[in-house]
Every structure is written in structure tokens, then in C-alpha cells.
Amino acid sequence: MAEISVVGFCALWTKGLYPKEEKMKQAINPVGFRKIRRAVKHPVKLTALLYLKEALLREEYEVCAEFIATAKEFGAQAFEIQNLLEDPRRIPR
């Protein structure tokens, strides 16, 4: 389909010169905006980070290394782990 202006499209639309499939494509995305993709978050990574946070709050440091390794394996960035380790709400004894 050739690119046309919105006014031109409306004129052709009202005259019925576009097939239904083209009308549907234009109605779904009339100006050609690109869809915004959201970052996919792996559920295992999120679970490992959550368990790491809970282990730090309970001061169970022996299991933290395992949770960090699992989170890294499934795509956790260093800053995500560092933010949990430096959480100001956590007061180590």
C-alpha cells in the first residue's frame, strides 16, 4: 500500500475504495506508530532477587551467594544486586 495523507485516506475511506482488510490495518494503527516494547523480566531472576532481599533482611548470609548466582544466571544486572545489598532499610548487626 502506498503512503497517503490522513486527509487522502479519509476521502478514499468514505468512498469505499479501500478493501476491508486495509481499513482494519489502518484503523488499528492509523499513523504508523511503532509499538512500545516493554522489557521482559524473567520470573526466575525476579524470584531469586526477592529471596535475596528476604535473606538479607533475616541476616541469613550463607544462602545469599546462591541467590546471587541464580539471579545472575537468569539476567540480573550488577546494579540490581548492588541495590539490594546497599538497601538503607537493612541494618546489619
How does pLDDT run across 27-85, given as a tens digit for each residue?
A: 555 555 666 666 667 899 999 999 999 999 898 999 999 999 999 999 999 999 999 99
Distance from chain centroid for Cα 35: 13
Kindly state whether residues 30 and 47 are assigned to the same domain.
no
Rounded distance between C-alpha atoms, residue 8 and residue 88, angstroms:
59
Q: Is residue 91 part of a domain?
A: no
Rounded distance between C-alpha atoms, residue 36 and residue 29, angstroms:
13
pTM (predicted TM-score): 0.56
pLDDT at 26: 55
Q: Per the structure block, which three cell numbers stand in for 31?
A: 499513523
> By residue range, what is the domain housing residue 51?
43-85
* H-assigned helices in the chain: 6-15, 20-28, 43-57, 64-73, 78-85
Kindly state whether residues 48 and 23 are assigned to the same domain.
no
CA dihedral (31, 34, 36, 40) positive or negative:
positive
Q: Is residue 92 part of a domain?
A: no
> Domain count of the chain?
2
